[in-house]
Amino acid sequence: MTLSRQPLKGMRQLAPGKKRIEDYIIKRLREAGVAYGFEEYETPVLEPLELFLAKSGNELAVDQSYNFTDKGGRQLIMRPELTPSLARMVASSGELIYPVKWMSFPVCYRYERPQRGRVREFMQFNLDILGVDGLEAELEVFLVLRRIVNSFNASPGQYIIRYSSRRLASEILENCGMTEEEMTQAFAVIDKKDKIEPDEWVELVRKTIWDKHNADKIISFASCSDLDAPWLAEVAGDSKAYSEILRFSEMLKDAGISEAQFEASVVRGLDYYTGIVFEVMDTGGKNRRAICGGGRYDNLVSMFGGQRVSGVGFGLGLLTLQLFLETYELIPFGISGKHPADIFLAVYSDEERLFAVNLAEKLRDFGVAVEIDITGKNLSKQVRIADKKSIGYIAVIGPEEVASGRITLKNMTSGTETECEVSEIPLILEDRTLSGEAN
Ligand code: HAM
C-alpha cells in the first residue's frame, strides 16, 4: 500500500522556506511585546473539555473543536484558543505581580472548513494584561497592535482596528427586554454581520429573532458606526457602557490612534468578553477574516474560585497576518530563501577533513553559522549544493589552506574573493551584516 503524501487537511506543515517567513513574523511580534514589557509563557495543548465549555461558547468548544475521550475516560480538547488556560494559570499562580503582562505563541486547533485565512491547525500570538480595571489597559493593547502592524511597514490606510463594547450591546439588548438566551442568540447573529452578504444577514436576523421590534433594533444597532449618532445616544441614554466607550474613543484620539474606528457590529464570538471588544481588519477586499480579535474579560479568572482579576488581550493569527502582509507585499524579498548558515566549508579531500571540522567548530565558537560538507562528494558538486542553498559565503579547505592557515572567502553574490586569517572571518561576515547584505 502506498501512503498518502499529504498531511491531514488544514494542518500546519511548513517547509523551511515557509517556516522562515513565519519566524520573521514571530520575531517582529515578540519584539513588539518586549517593547512594552510583556513576558512569555506556555500552557498545555491538551486540555479538559470543561475548561472551554464553561466560557468560550458551545460553537467553539463543541462544533469547532477536536475533542475526544482518552483511554482514562476523560473528555479532552485540543486547545482551540488560549485565554481560558491563561485565566486558570493566573488563578492558580499565588504570587503574581500585577499588572500581569504576558504573551504566548500557541498552536491552536479548530475543526473548521479550511479556506483562505482559516485552517485547522494554526499559530496564534496572544498578548494579555491582567489585573487592570481601567481603560489604560485597552489603550496599551491598541498601542501594541499599532506598533505590530507598523513594524511591518503597513500604512494606516491598509488596516483598521474596529472596536465596540460588549457591555453596551448587552445593555441595549436588555433594554429591549431580551432574555439571556435571546441575547446569546443576538450576539451570535450580530457577529455574523460582516462575514456574510448584507441581505443574507438581514434575513438571518429576522429568522433568528422572532420579535420584529427586537430584530429591527438589532439591525439598527449593528449597522451603527458613529458613536455620536442620535439614535445610539437615545437608546444608550445614560448607560455606563456608553459613557465608557465615549471616553475610550477620546483616549484613542488623544493617543493619535487614527486607525481605530467604532463599529457596533463588533461583538466577537466568544462568550467571556465583558467590555471593549475589537478586531484588526484589512481594509482591502482580499482578506475578509480578522487578522486579530480580542477584548476585555473580567469574569474569567474568578471562574476558578478566588479573587476577581480583570483581563484584556487579543489573539492574532499568524496566517491571517501573513496573508495581509503578502497582499501588500510587506514581506522582505528573499526572506524565504535565506539560508541560516553564514558560510559553507567545502572539503577538498578526506586528508583535510579533520582540519576543516576543527575550523568549523572554531568559527561556531565565534558565533558564525557554518555548514560543512558531510557528503564526501567532489568539490564542484559541493559548491553546487552550497550555491543552490543560497549560502552567502564559501571557502574551500584544501592542502594549501591547511599548510598556510589562511582561507579564501568567496562572496557568492558578488563573486569577490578575500584571503584572510581564520580569526578575521567573523569580522568580515559582521561587516556584511552591518552593510545590510544579510537580511
Ligand atoms: P478569536 O477571535 O477566536 O479570539 O481568534 C483570534 C484570531 O486567531 C483570529 O482573528 C484569527 O486571526 C486567528 N484564528 C482564529 N481561528 C483561526 C483559524 N481557524 N485559522 C487561522 N487563524 C485563526 C481568540 O482566540 C481569543 N482567545 C483572543 C483573546 C486573547 N482574547 C483575549 N485574549
Give yes or no for a contact between 344 and 387, defined as CB atoms under 8 angstroms apart.
no
Low-confidence winner among 30-34, 93-97, 101-105 (lowest mean pLDDT): 93-97
- Amino acid letter for position 299: N
Cis previous bond, 99, omega within 30: yes
The four Cα atoms 251, 129, 266, 281 give a dihedral, to 10 degrees, of 90
d(CA 439, CA 436): 7
Residue 438 confidence class, pLDDT cut points 50, 70, 90: very low
Q: Compute φ and ψ for 147, nearest 5 degrees.
A: -65, -40
Question: Quick one: pLDDT at residue 406?
Answer: 94
Mean pLDDT of the chain: 93
d(CA 14, CA 360): 29
Q: Is the pLDDT of residue 431 over 80?
A: no
Q: Is the CB of 12 under 6 A from ligand 1?
A: no
Residue 128 CA to ligand 1 center (angstroms) comes to 13
More confident residue, 418 or 436: 418
Question: Quick one: pLDDT at residue 126?
Answer: 98
Other CB atoms closer than 10 Å to residue 231's CB: what's the count?
Answer: 13
Q: Is the pLDDT of residue 191 over 80?
A: yes
Question: Quick one: pLDDT at residue 375?
Answer: 96
If you average pLDDT over residues 391-417, what whole number do you get? 94
Residue nearest to atom 26 of ligand 1 (CA): 315
Question: Quick one: pLDDT at residue 118?
Answer: 96
The number of helix segments (H) and strand segments (E) in the chain equals: 16, 17
Q: Compute φ and ψ for 411, nearest 5 degrees.
A: -80, 115
Residue 59 CA to ligand 1 center (angstroms) comes to 14
Q: Which of 60, 65, 289, 323 to mutate to test the pocket of ligand 1 (most atoms within 8 A of CB)?
A: 289
Give yes or no for a contact between 156 and 259, defined as CB atoms under 8 angstroms apart.
yes
- % of the chain with per-residue pLDDT over 70: 98
Q: What is the DSSP letter of 352?
A: G
Q: Compute φ and ψ for 244, nearest 5 degrees.
A: -65, -45
Question: Quick one: pLDDT at residue 168?
Answer: 93
Atom of ligand 1 at shortest distance to CA of 80? 25
- Amino acid letter for position 203: E
If you average pLDDT over residues 280-307, what whole number do you get? 93
Q: Is the CB of 317 under 6 A from ligand 1?
A: yes
Q: Is the pLDDT of residue 48 over 60?
A: yes
Q: Is the CB of 363 under 6 A from ligand 1?
A: no
Cell of 385: 549544493
d(CA 218, CA 211): 11
Q: Is the pLDDT of residue 61 over 90?
A: no
Q: Which of 275, 315, 312, 268 is nearest to 128 (CA)?
A: 312
Cell of 307: 479573587
Cell of 356: 576543516
Residue nearest to atom 21 of ligand 1 (CA): 118
- Which tens digit of pLDDT belongs to each residue from 134-160? 999 999 999 999 999 999 999 989 999
Question: Quick one: pLDDT at residue 430?
Answer: 75
Q: Is the pLDDT of residue 436 over 70?
A: no
Atom of ligand 1 at shortest distance to CA of 312? 32
Q: Which residues contact 290 (CB under 8 A, 6 or more apart)?
A: 279, 280, 281, 317, 320
Give yes or no for a contact between 423 and 437, defined as CB atoms under 8 angstroms apart.
no
- Amino acid letter for position 37: G
Q: Which of 65, 79, 81, 161 to mutate to test the pocket of ligand 1 (most atoms within 8 A of CB)?
A: 81
Q: Is the pLDDT of residue 383 over 70?
A: yes
Q: Is the pLDDT of residue 435 over 70?
A: no
Give yes or no for a contact between 9 and 114, defined as CB atoms under 8 angstroms apart.
yes
Q: Is the CB of 290 under 6 A from ligand 1?
A: yes
Q: Which of 60, 90, 122 to mutate to test the pocket of ligand 1 (most atoms within 8 A of CB)?
A: 122
Q: Is the pLDDT of residue 434 over 60?
A: no
Helix, strand, coil percentages (3-state) for the chain, rounded to 5, are 45, 20, 35
Question: Quick one: pLDDT at residue 196?
Answer: 86
Distances (CA, A) of 205 to 4, 168, 186, 231, 313: 44, 19, 8, 20, 29
Q: Is the pLDDT of residue 437 over 70?
A: no
More confident residue, 239 or 283: 283
- % of the chain with per-residue pLDDT over 90: 76
Q: Is the pLDDT of residue 355 over 70?
A: yes
d(CA 206, CA 195): 17
Q: Is the pLDDT of residue 432 over 80?
A: no
